[in-house]
Amino acid sequence: MPAHSIGSATISFGLVSVPIKMFSAGESSAAISFNWLHKKDGARLKQQYVCSKDGEKVEKEDMIKGYEFAKGRYVQFTPDELKALEEKGTGSINITEFVDADTVDRMYMDKVYFMGPDKGGDRAFTLLGEALKKTRKVAIGQWAARGKQYLVMIRPLSRGLAMEQLRYANEVRSIDEVPIPKVDVKKAELDMAVQLVEQAASEQFEPQKYDDTVKGVSRIRFSARWTARRSPKSRRKPPRRRSSTSWRHSRRVSPRARARRAASANPRSAPSAPPKPSQPRDERPPAPRR
């Protein structure tokens, strides 16, 4: 499936202009995230904005953006004023210099985009890539888009070009800010460390060997839990146990049987059963003999 272009621009240096199309170099992978729910009924919670001064709930139409120039002091800007402050996109990548690729430290690199030729720029695009390969140089320039001016580096990649978005110098911190104590390393310890490195060394980096196993296991667990909740067995109610003292059962038990059952349960406190009434005798006179 061919890649989908995310925009177009023109590489300009001197009197040369190269129309190009830009493509995303990475595949978007949604990170695992959780939402806040109401513990009572499981409904998702909504975020609200509350004024820090009077505690009132503020609706979107009553909001305005501001820049904090001092602690608790802001300069307010309307949407039109913010739009005027944004850098207008020119669609042109202005190349200012060509430098050796090794002189650009990797810590300045931020994002990567692929480049392909746009309509009518096949020949100029190919010539620029071949020239960069032969001289082993990369192009440094600036590109204005989305209200910001970006520092970029263009380098050859296979049959195409790659544009790497760089950080500005004031956006990168120095390693000198990290506290690192000075330690004397013994030669035997260094030789052992070098031996361990050489044992695990490879000829080249192969990214296809690695995968995000943590995310895969988490998704399997989430799916299994969701399936268990939706299965008919989990929703089936347990059978209702009929009590021995239910109304229907009590109709089948005679009063005498209930008294015997109570007496067997507590023979001391149970009242004695009433005496069985004697049957009346038949007092009719005997029949005369013949």
pLDDT per position as a tens digit, 153-212: 999 999 999 999 999 999 999 888 999 999 999 999 999 999 999 999 998 888 888 887
Q: Report yes or no on 210 lying in a domain.
A: no
**Residue matched to tokens 């810590």:** 107
Q: How confident is the model at residue 241 (pLDDT cuts 50, 70, 90)?
A: low
Specify if 33 maps to a domain: no
CB atoms within 10 A of CB 23: 18
Q: What is the pLDDT of residues 9-32, one digit of tens each?
A: 999 988 889 999 999 887 666 567
Please check whether residue 234 lies inside any domain of the structure.
no
* Stronger pLDDT, 11 or 33, i.e. the higher one: 11
User: What's the pLDDT score for residue 279?
Assistant: 54
Contact criterion met (CB below 8 Å) for 165 and 150: yes
In a domain, 14, yes or no: yes
Domain-located, residue 21? yes
Alpha-carbon gap, residue 90 to 102, rounded angstroms:
30
Higher pLDDT, 77 or 281: 77
**For residue 196, what pLDDT is reported?**
94
Q: Which pLDDT belongs to residue 104?
A: 93
274 or 139, higher pLDDT: 139
Residue with the larger pLDDT of the pair 122 and 218:
122
The tokens for 283 are: 């007092």
- Weakest-pLDDT range from 28-37, 88-97, 270-279: 270-279
Question: What's the domain range around 122?
Answer: 5-26+86-170
| Residue 17 domain flag | yes
Distances (CA, A) of 289 to 211, 266, 282, 283, 286: 117, 58, 19, 18, 9
* Domain at 125, CATH number: 2.40.290.10
Residue 72, domain member (yes or no): no
pLDDT score of 162: 95
- pLDDT(264) > 80: no
Neighbours of 156 (CB within 10 A): 20
Provide the number of structural domains found in the chain: 1
The pLDDT score that the predictor gives to residue 232 is 61
Entry pTM: 0.60
pLDDT tens for 42-88 read: 899 988 899 988 889 998 888 989 988 888 888 888 888 877 776 56
Residue 285 scores a pLDDT above 60: no
Written as one string, the DSSP assignment of the chain is -PPPEEEEEEEEETTEEEEEEEEESS---PPP----B-TTT-PBP---EE-TTT--EE-GGG--EEEEEETTEEEEE-HHHHHHHSBPP-SEEEEEEEEEGGGS-GGGEEEEEEEEE-TT-HHHHHHHHHHHHHHTEEEEEEEEETBEEEEEEEEEETTEEEEEEE--GGGS--GGGS-----PPPHHHHHHHHHHHHHT--SS--GGG---HHHHHHHHHHHHHHHHHHSHHHHSPPPPPPPTT-HHHHHHS-HHHHHHHHHHH-TTTSPPPPPPPPPPP--PPPPPP-
Rounded to the nearest 5°, which phi and psi values hold at 230? Answer: -90, -5
Q: What are phi and psi of 287, to 5 degrees?
A: -70, 140
Q: Is residue 129 part of a domain?
A: yes
